[in-house]
Amino acid sequence: MGADKPSLEKIHGFLFLSLHEWGSGRGATAFIYIGLAIRVGLLLRSFRKQTPLAPPFNKPVETREEFVVEETRVRTWWSMNSMECLLASGQNRTALTTYSETAEIGMPCREEAFVWGDVSSLRHLTDSAEPSEKESLILAVRHWSTINCWVSSGGVKKESHPPWSPLSRFAELQGVLRSWREQLPPKLQYDQTFFVMHAVNKQTGPYGFLHLVYFSSVIFLHREYLQFFPVQGPTYRGRLPKGLDQAYEGIDVDAFWTSSLKDLFNAAARITEILVELERHDAVMLTPFLGFAAFSAATVNMYLAIFSWVYPDLAAGARERTETDVRFLKQVVGLWPLAQQWYQTVLRLYESYKQFHMDGGAPESPSGKTIDAFHSFDRSLMDYGEIKPEPDDMAAIVAAKDTDGYKHGTELKYPRSNEDNDDGLQGIPQFGEEGYWDTVADEFLSSIMTFDAPITMS
């Protein structure tokens, strides 16, 4: 690899390899490549301010060329840092973001200053200065990584306080997200009408991606408490382990659950809205994370479309939003193999919802254990971006009604495989069959649009 001759070009190469491996469903390899990129950078010492090996850092920036070189190094460092955060998981890997060099590097400058090579601009932003576009994104990715790690490390199962308690980890993370949103510069605050303004400077894509990260974080935070198979009653109560339902003086628990559902379903609706706006302005960036955002929104919008009584205020357009999310996910499928697994997951989730609707109860594994498929999927998704559900659990959800073909809601038959697929399941339609994804997409969308009203549990 030429580690004895590190260069900025090699770092960029490792960044692209990491992105490619992640999108190909090989998250572990992607994590290795991003680690190599960071270590090549440290060998190069291009991010250490006080070193003779980085001349531009040893004197004040005087020319436009020096400014661009220095800013390129700064942006490369934060690109590596952000990529590592996106790949980090609380189960098997952790982002190594504690390098002492980080504090010395400073944040990227504003886009206009970088484009024009404005030497007079302040690259090292002070605490009182308005954050740049890149700094806002860096912080958003860092918050996403923190929530990701919390969920994949156990989330609610490791909480010692209910989510409405100010002492809970949930309340802490929610406060972090709210603080980030409130501190955004006015032009970066989320507003659907802002896409037009950002399109003038060709910043629609970065603006949309910034908020895809934020709303995905909101979904993950609140979905941790979502009941996968809700029971209709006078009031909705979220998913809590025993012993965490204690009341706190001055806190309305019912109001908390209503607010949590509002934040969850609103975040999913906003992601769909962002995807539509990006497409309208020809600024869709078909990255793995965009596919993951579409996937996350699809699962939540589909949930609301089927269990509309949970939050009627946003249920009206949930089915249409699900269609849109699945359509965008299908676009990503054509580029990144990892998205094929997300697509298949959406179909399996729908199958479990359908079984709950048809049979009047939650699906069970062959051993008789009730399946919490939604959270089982979440755990698998966090593990290097590769879905590896428990065979015992998933067999009950995706089991065919006969031995000749696999059936969905419209009773269409698909060829079954007698051999295990990559995810260890039997009888799942094969990715490689010609026209497969077109067929299942059409079938899925037609099924969800004709899904009957949810049953009422007595």
Contact yes or no for 272/297 (Cβ under 8 A): yes
Report the alpha-carbon angle 275-279-284, nearest 5: 75
Contact yes or no for 287/321 (Cβ under 8 A): no
CA distance 83 to 95: 9
Q: Please, where are the H alpha helices in 281-359? A: 288-306, 318-333, 337-359
Q: Which two tokens stand for residue 205?
A: 């894509």
* 3-state secondary structure at position 361: coil
pLDDT for position 319: 94
Interacting residues of 60 by C-beta distance below 8 A, sequence separation 6+: none
For residue 43, give the amino acid letter. Answer: L
Residue 188, number of CB atoms within 10 A of its CB: 22
pLDDT for position 68: 84
The per-residue DSSP string of 299-310 comes to HHHHHHHHSGGG
Domain segments of the chain: what residues?
A: 1-116, 345-449
Please report where in the chains the tokens 């009730």 appear, as a residue: 370
Across 102-122, b (16+ Cβ under 10 Å) vs e yields eeebbbbbbeebbeeebbebe
Nearest to 359 by CA among 345, 374, 370, 347: 370
For helices 318-333 and 288-306, angle between their N-to-C axes, nearest 10 degrees: 150
Question: For residue 334, with 0-12 CB atoms within 10 Å meaning exposed, 13-18 middle and 19 or more buried, which class applies?
Answer: exposed
Cα distance from N-terminal residue to C-terminal residue, the chain: 65
Distances (CA, A) of 396 to 329, 353, 391, 392, 420: 25, 12, 9, 7, 16
Q: Please, where are the H alpha helices in 160-203? A: 169-182, 194-200
Interacting residues of 341 by C-beta distance below 8 A, sequence separation 6+: 25, 386, 387, 423
- Model pLDDT for residues 13-55, shown as the tens digit of each residue: 999 999 999 888 888 889 899 989 988 887 776 565 544 444 4
Contact yes or no for 395/361 (Cβ under 8 A): no
pLDDT for position 126: 45
Q: What is the DSSP letter of 313?
A: G
**pTM confidence score:** 0.79
H helix or E strand, kind and range, residue 406: strand 406-407
pLDDT for position 92: 64
pLDDT for position 153: 83
pLDDT for position 362: 62
Interacting residues of 181 by C-beta distance below 8 A, sequence separation 6+: 189, 190, 214
pLDDT for position 25: 83
Distances (CA, A) of 3 to 35, 40, 207, 367: 13, 7, 36, 52
CA distance 38 to 79: 10
Enumerate residue ranges in the chain where pLDDT < 70. 1-4, 45-62, 89-104, 121-129, 247, 249, 360-458
CA distance 218 to 267: 6
Nearest to 372 by CA among 165, 224, 228, 201: 228
- Model pLDDT for residues 367-425, shown as the tens digit of each residue: 555 555 555 555 555 544 454 444 444 444 344 333 333 233 333 233 333 333 333 33
CA distance 291 to 337: 11
For helices 373-382 and 133-152, angle between their N-to-C axes, nearest 10 degrees: 120
* 3-state secondary structure at position 407: strand
pLDDT for position 419: 38
Across 294-308, b (16+ Cβ under 10 Å) vs e yields bbbbbbbbbbbbbbb
Helices (H) and strands (E) counted in the chain, each on its own, are: 16, 2
